[in-house]
Amino acid sequence: MTAAAKNTLWADVVVIGFGKGGKVAAAALGRAGRRVILIERSDQMYGGTCPNVGCVPTKALVHHSGRRRPEDSPQEWFEQAIGEVQALTSTFRAGNYDALNGAATITVLTGTAHFVDLHTVAVSNESGEVRVVGETILVNTGSEPVIPDIPGLRESPRTVTNVDLIHTTHLPGRLAVIGGGYLGIEFASIYRRFGTAVTVFEASPQILGREDDDVAAAAAEVLAGDGVEVVTGAEVLEIRGEDTVVYRKDGREHSLTVDAILAATGRTPATAELRLENAGVKTTDGGAIEVDEHLRTSQPHIFALGDVNGGPQFTYISLDDSRIVLDQLLGSGKRSTADRIAVPQTLFMSPPLATVGLTEKAAHAAGHEVRIGMQRVADIVAMPRAYIVEETRGVMKFVIDAASDEILGAALLSVDAQELINTVALAMRHRITATELRESIYTHPSSTEAFNDVLGTIVRG
């Protein structure tokens, strides 16, 4: 046996990346008797972004930040919160590793992977290199933060990503957030509630540019009420002297000295290290792996799941990707991305903003004649839960097709919005009308019963 053969492993399926889609697919394929090798480049990322540096720690920080009382020391409270969050993520990480590596048909390898050829992947770590040959290969390497090309930003020791922030126990006195999208607003809300002075810089005329103006304005009002400074129409010009953000607004140059600068301008597919060209796998101009509706790449035996394929960057989309791939490998092969209808999303500010479907402006652009049901949460008589939990800020908005009475979209900025939106999405998928949703019976006191009131305010849009 040659030395190369001694350092080669064979598998039915090779999974590169321990994210949601990859681990679910690996587990199912292992249960089906397939020999699976799952590769993860870091022992701190078993389970993927969500339980380690994404959904779980950030939403835990939302929870901890909301529990801080005025008399609590911001730094001590933050340090305690980070410790508890890290303990939680460690538990999840260990559980993910043990669940898969403990299976008889699954092996977890830790190391950096790249393609050698169509069926071979090299895995490198401190112990050397091993090659893995697989009949089928699933790529699930996720995405990574983008640092925009602003002079001095990459060089400044004050520059951080969202991943950096949740790994530090030091609470910055003043935080600058570059980007007023979902990521930027979520962290601005979290850190302000911990006691940090926060300034958000957004180049567009408003934050949350994908939302309707009235919804974005309601979110901005909530942030302002919490003390978050939002500077719209701001062009960040440079980071000067490590800690000074220089920006232009209304034709004038301004500056702000800060303790930390969060780059929150998006994430890009993590494909740079994969050497996809060695396997003939095509990518888009943005670096995402090109896939068809069944998530096959330009090589039929190679699939791409999750953020790396350029789709919506949500854990639950990665989960659905695994269902599509598993249907190809173990099922009828009929399931596809075309089956996705009314996929909701949530921005975990406080209170959360959850949306699904079309905005009012998108519905008009698509040629719909619409009606609008909209109320401020404080005015929804049928929603006493908002008063019970002392969170009456926000707004609920429904976009409804005037001819069919079907719900085209919704934006819920309210307590429990992250749960309410799933009910709305389900109604949309099954073409339940706005009238049916309005006339349904809901428990009391609950947030869902707000639908009884809000959908009774329908006017022409």
Residues 40 and 99 in one domain: yes
Q: Say if residues 250 and 388 touch (Cβ distance below 8 Å).
A: no
Residues 87 and 217 in one domain: no
Query: How far is residue 11 CA from its own chain's centroid?
Result: 31
User: What backbone phi and psi angles, to 5 degrees, belong to 331?
Assistant: -115, -145
The 10s digit of each residue's pLDDT in 315-359 is: 999 999 999 999 999 999 999 999 999 999 999 999 999 999 999
Residue 2 reports pLDDT greater than 80: no
Domain boundary among 247, 265, 283: 265
Give the chain's length.
Answer: 461
Q: Does 149 fall in a domain?
A: no
Q: Say if residues 254 and 176 touch (Cβ distance below 8 Å).
A: no
DSSP 289: B
User: What pLDDT, on the 0 to 100 scale, is given for residue 178?
Assistant: 97
Lookup result for tokens 């001590």: 76
User: What pLDDT, on the 0 to 100 scale, is given for residue 35?
Assistant: 97
Residue 427 reports pLDDT greater than 70: yes
Distance of alpha carbon 64 from alpha carbon 71, whole angstroms: 15
Number of structural domains (the chain) is 3
Known binding site for FAD: residues? Answer: 59, 141-143, 307
Residue 375 reports pLDDT greater than 90: yes
Distance of alpha carbon 37 from alpha carbon 104, whole angstroms: 11
User: What backbone phi and psi angles, to 5 degrees, belong to 457?
Assistant: -105, 20
Residues 173 and 286 in one domain: no
Residues 335 and 358 in one domain: no
Residues 12 and 134 in one domain: yes
Q: Say if residues 344 and 317 touch (Cβ distance below 8 Å).
A: no
Domain boundary among 313, 339, 365: 339
Using DSSP, state whether 303 is helix, strand or coil. Answer: strand
Residues 194 and 125 in one domain: no
Q: Say if residues 143 and 230 touch (Cβ distance below 8 Å).
A: no
Residue 368 reports pLDDT greater than 50: yes
Mean pLDDT, the chain, rounded, equals 94
Residues in Cβ contact with 220 at an 8 Å cutoff, skipping those fewer than 6 apart: 206, 207, 230
Residue 453 reports pLDDT greater than 50: yes
Least confident span in 98-102, 271-275, 385-389 = 98-102
Least confident span in 66-70, 133-137, 244-248 = 66-70
Known binding site: residues? Answer: 59, 141-143, 179-186, 202, 266, 307
DSSP 455: T
Q: Say if residues 226 and 394 touch (Cβ distance below 8 Å).
A: no
Residues 9 and 139 in one domain: yes
Q: Does 150 fall in a domain?
A: no
Residues 51 and 73 in one domain: yes
Q: Does 152 fall in a domain?
A: no
Domain with 37 in it: 3-143+268-339
User: What pLDDT, on the 0 to 100 scale, is given for residue 1?
Assistant: 41
> Mean pLDDT throughout 219-238?
96
Confidence category of residue 266, pLDDT binned at 50, 70, 90: confident
Distance of alpha carbon 42 from alpha carbon 249, whole angstroms: 42
Active site residue ranges: 444
> By CB neighbour count within 10 A (0-12 exposed, 13-18 middle, 19+ buried), where does 332 fall?
exposed
CATH code of 28's domain: 3.50.50.60
Q: Say if residues 445 and 388 touch (Cβ distance below 8 Å).
A: yes
User: What pLDDT, on the 0 to 100 scale, is given for residue 3?
Assistant: 47
User: What pLDDT, on the 0 to 100 scale, is given for residue 56?
Assistant: 87
Q: Does 7 fall in a domain?
A: yes
CATH code of 428's domain: 3.30.390.30
Q: Does 232 fall in a domain?
A: yes
Cα end-to-end span (Å), the chain: 74
Strand 370-376 and strand 459-460: pairing? Answer: antiparallel
Domain boundary among 304, 339, 374: 339
Q: Is the dihedral of CA 402, 379, 232, 147 positive or negative?
A: negative
Q: Is the dihedral of CA 436, 441, 443, 445 positive or negative?
A: positive
Q: Which two tokens stand for residue 95?
A: 């559980």
Distance of alpha carbon 225 from alpha carbon 356, whole angstroms: 25
Least confident span in 69-83, 121-135, 205-219 = 69-83
Q: Kindly write down the DSSP assignment for every residue of 336-390, as one continuous string.
A: -GGG--S--EEE-SSS-EEEEE--HHHHHHTT--EEEEEEEGGG-TT-HHHHHTT
136: left (phi over 0), alpha (psi -120 to 50) or beta: beta
Known binding site for NAD(+): residues? Answer: 179-186, 202, 266
> Mean pLDDT throughout 185-203?
95
> Mean pLDDT throughout 358-365?
97
Distance of alpha carbon 409 from alpha carbon 399, whole angstroms: 5
E strands, 278-337, are 302-304
Query: Omega before 312 cis (within 30°)?
Result: no
> Mean pLDDT throughout 180-199?
94
The 10s digit of each residue's pLDDT in 36-60 is: 999 999 888 888 888 887 788 888 8
Residues 179 and 292 in one domain: no
> Mean pLDDT throughout 157-179?
92
Using DSSP, state whether 230 is helix, strand or coil. Answer: strand
Residues 11 and 136 in one domain: yes
Q: CA distances (Å), 320 to each of 313, 353, 428, in order?
A: 12, 23, 18
